[in-house]
Amino acid sequence: MRKINKNAEPISLTDFKINNPSLKYSDLSQGNDQVRIDIRVANLKEQFYLCGYCCNKINETNSHR
């Protein structure tokens, strides 16, 4: 098991939260796709492109399952 050092959240997520204080993660659709992508990429980098459950390699295309 690898230790995961969490970094700051993506700037796009910070901006989304400031501009939409009452919305939740599930509301990140329809025009906010880039925020979701930024979150996914940031998490992949933090986790060394490994699944947190099974430690298999993951990438941008198979990390949403």
Q: What is the pLDDT along the chain (65 residues), one digit of tens a residue?
A: 678 888 999 999 999 999 999 988 888 877 888 998 999 999 999 999 988 888 889 987 776 65
Residue 3 covered by a domain = no
- CA atoms in the 13 A half-sphere facing the CB of 57: 0
Inside any domain, residue 36: yes
Does residue 48 sit within a domain? yes
By residue range, what is the domain housing residue 39? Answer: 8-19+28-65
pTM of the model: 0.80
Q: Is residue 53 part of a domain?
A: yes
Q: Is residue 2 part of a domain?
A: no
Query: In this structure, are residues 35 and 10 in contact, taking their beta carbons and an 8 Å threshold?
Result: yes
pLDDT at site 49: 93
**Domain count for the chain:** 1
Of 2, 7, 13, 1, which Cα lies nearest the Cα of 46? 7
Q: What is the pLDDT of residue 3?
A: 80
H or E element, residue 41: helix 33-46
Q: Is residue 59, in this structure, part of any structural domain at all?
A: yes
pLDDT at 54: 86
